[in-house]
Chains A and B, each alone.
Chain A
Amino acid sequence: MASNTSGDKGLRAIVIGMIVFVLAVTGIFIYLDKKPAQNALTPASISKADGSGLVFNPKAKPQIDIWEDFQCPACRDFEAINNELVKKIITEGRAKVVYHPLTFIGARSTNGINESIIAANASACAMDQGKFIEMHEILYQNQASSENSGRFSTEFMISLGNKIGITSMKFQDCVTGGNYALWTESISSYAAVKNVNSTPTIFVNGKELNRAGGEYSDPAKFEAALAAGGVK
C-alpha cells in the first residue's frame, strides 16, 4: 500500500500539472486573441476617445452614443421607430452621433462564424464609402428572423452594398477581407468599460435612456429624452 500511494501521488501531480498548464496556455491564447489589437485597421471616421466608435459630426454637441448589434431584434425595432429622427439629427448636425456596433450575438454562434462581425465590418466598410447610414438601414431591413441563421454572409453584404449604390472594388475587398474584424474587438472592450449589458443601449450626453420608461419604444419619449439631453 505504501509503495502504491507514492505512485498515485506521482500520477496525481502529473495530472494536476497538465490541467493547470493547459488552462494557463488556453487563457494566454484567448487573452491575446481577444485583446483589442493596437495595429488593427480602423475605419476612416472613428472617435478614438469613444472607444473607436463610428462618428458623425465629431465637433457637435451634445453627444449621442448608439450601441447595437445588427443581429439584435430589439435594435431593429428601435431603428424602425426612431431612425428617421436620428438621421435628421445627423444630417442637420444637431449632435455628435457615435455608433458602436457590437458583435456579442454572433459570438454565441456554434458554427464558428460570427455574423455580427461580418455585418459590423460591412457597416464600417460602408462608412469609408460615405454610406454607413444607408448600410445600417438596409442591414436591419434584411435581418434574419433568427440569430446566427447564416444569412449575414460576406456575399450578402456585397449584394446589400450594391443595392444602396456601392459598387467599388474597395468595398468588396474590405467586406471579403474582413478588414475591420479586429476593430470590432475594441468596440466590445469599450462596452465593458461603459457597462453596456444589452442592445440597443443609447446614451444622450452620457445618460442612458430609460428602458422601463419607454424611451426606446415610444418615439415621443425618445424625442423628449433627446431634448432633455440638450439636442435642439
Chain B
Amino acid sequence: MITNLLANMHKSQSWITFAFRIILGGVLLVAGAIKVTDPYGSATSVRAYQVLPIHIANALGFVLPFIEVGLGIFLIVGIWVRYISIVSSALMIVFIIAISQAWIRGISLDCGCFGKGGLKDTQELPVWSYTIEIIRDIALATIGGYLFRFPQGKLGLDK
C-alpha cells in the first residue's frame, strides 16, 4: 500500500513539482506584486517587527517586494528551481522567526505579508492570525524543501 503510494508519487513527481512551483511561486508573486507599488507601506511593515535598525528595515522594506516577485516568476517559469526554492524556503523561515519573535515579545502587528502591515491599534495579540501565518509559512517552506529535492518538473525551463 505504502510502496504503491510512493511509486505513484514517484511517477507523478514531475507534476507535483510543477504544482508546487506554481503554489510557492504564485504566493510569492502575488505577495510581492501587492506591495511593490507601496514602498513606504512595505517599509512600515518591516519596521513594525522592531528587529532591525530603522534604516536597514526601511531599505529591506523597499527591496523585499521585488525579491518576492523575482523569486515567484523564476519558480513559475521553472528557472534555477533548486536554488530559488532553497532561497524561498529560507525567506519563509525568516518570516516564521519574525512573526514568532513579535508574538513572544507581545508586539501586536499586521504581518504585512500581503500589504496592510504595521502595528495594530489594539494591544491585544492577534494570536489566531499569528498561528495561521506561521502554519502557512511552514507549509510553504516545506514545499520549497520538496522543490529543492525534486527540482525537475513539467513545463519548466530547467533542463
**Is A11's beta carbon under 8 Å from chain B?**
yes
Measured in the bound complex, the distance between the Cα atoms of B47 and A198 in whole Å is: 10
Q: How large is the interface on A (under 10, 10 to 19, 20 to 34, 35 or more residues)?
A: 20 to 34
Shortest A187–chain B CB gap in Å is 10
Q: Which of A26-34, A122-130, A174-182 contacts B (4 or more CB under 8 A)?
A: A26-34
**Is A142's beta carbon under 8 Å from chain B?**
no
Q: Which of A12-20, A51-59, A92-100, A159-167 contacts B (4 or more CB under 8 A)?
A: A12-20
- Residues of B within 8 Å of A212, CB to CB, are 123
Which of B37, B61, B70 gathers most chain A CB within 10 Å?
Answer: B37
By the criterion CB–CB under 8 Å, are B79 and A104 in contact? no
Shortest B117–chain A CB gap in Å is 8
- Residues of A within 8 Å of B120, CB to CB, are 198
A window 1-43: CB within 8 A of B: 4-5, 8-9, 11-12, 15-16, 19-20, 23, 26-27, 30-31, 34
Which of A23, A73, A74, A198 gathers most chain B CB within 10 Å?
Answer: A198
Q: How many A-B residue pairs have CB under 8 A?
A: 73
By the criterion CB–CB under 8 Å, are B66 and A23 in contact? yes
By the criterion CB–CB under 8 Å, are B40 and A197 in contact? no
Partner of B47, one of A23, A108, A188, A197: A197
Partner of A198, one of B36, B37, B48, B58: B48
Query: Which residue of chain A lies nearest to B77 when distances are taken between CB atoms in the complex?
Result: A15
Measured in the bound complex, the distance between the Cα atoms of B99 and A93 in whole Å is: 44
By the criterion CB–CB under 8 Å, are A197 and B73 in contact? no
**Is B44's beta carbon under 8 Å from chain A?**
yes
Query: Which residue of chain A lies nearest to B49 when distances are taken between CB atoms in the complex?
Result: A197
**Is B157's beta carbon under 8 Å from chain A?**
yes
**Is A193's beta carbon under 8 Å from chain B?**
yes
- Residues of A within 8 Å of B48, CB to CB, are 197-198
Measured in the bound complex, the distance between the Cα atoms of B40 and A114 in whole Å is: 14
- Residues of B within 8 Å of A74, CB to CB, are 121
- Residues of A within 8 Å of B144, CB to CB, are none
Main secondary structure on chain B at its contact with chain A? helix
- Residues of B within 8 Å of A11, CB to CB, are 157
By the criterion CB–CB under 8 Å, are A19 and B70 in contact? yes
Measured in the bound complex, the distance between the Cα atoms of B73 and A97 in whole Å is: 47
- Residues of A within 8 Å of B47, CB to CB, are 192, 195, 197
Partner of A189, one of B40, B54, B66: B40
**Is B92's beta carbon under 8 Å from chain A?**
no
Partner of B118, one of A23, A193, A198: A198
**Is B41's beta carbon under 8 Å from chain A?**
yes
B window 57-78: CB within 8 A of A: 58, 61, 66, 69-70, 73-74, 77
By the criterion CB–CB under 8 Å, are B121 and A73 in contact? yes
**Is A144's beta carbon under 8 Å from chain B?**
no
**Is B115's beta carbon under 8 Å from chain A?**
yes
- Starting from the known contacts A8-B159, A34-B40, 12 additional A-B residue pairs (CB-CB under 8 Å) come to A12-B157, A15-B157, A26-B66, A104-B40, A107-B41, A108-B115, A108-B116, A188-B40, A191-B44, A195-B47, A197-B119, A198-B48
Nearest first, the 7 closest Cβ-Cβ pairs linking A and B are A198-B119, A74-B121, A188-B40, A197-B48, A12-B157, A107-B38, A192-B58
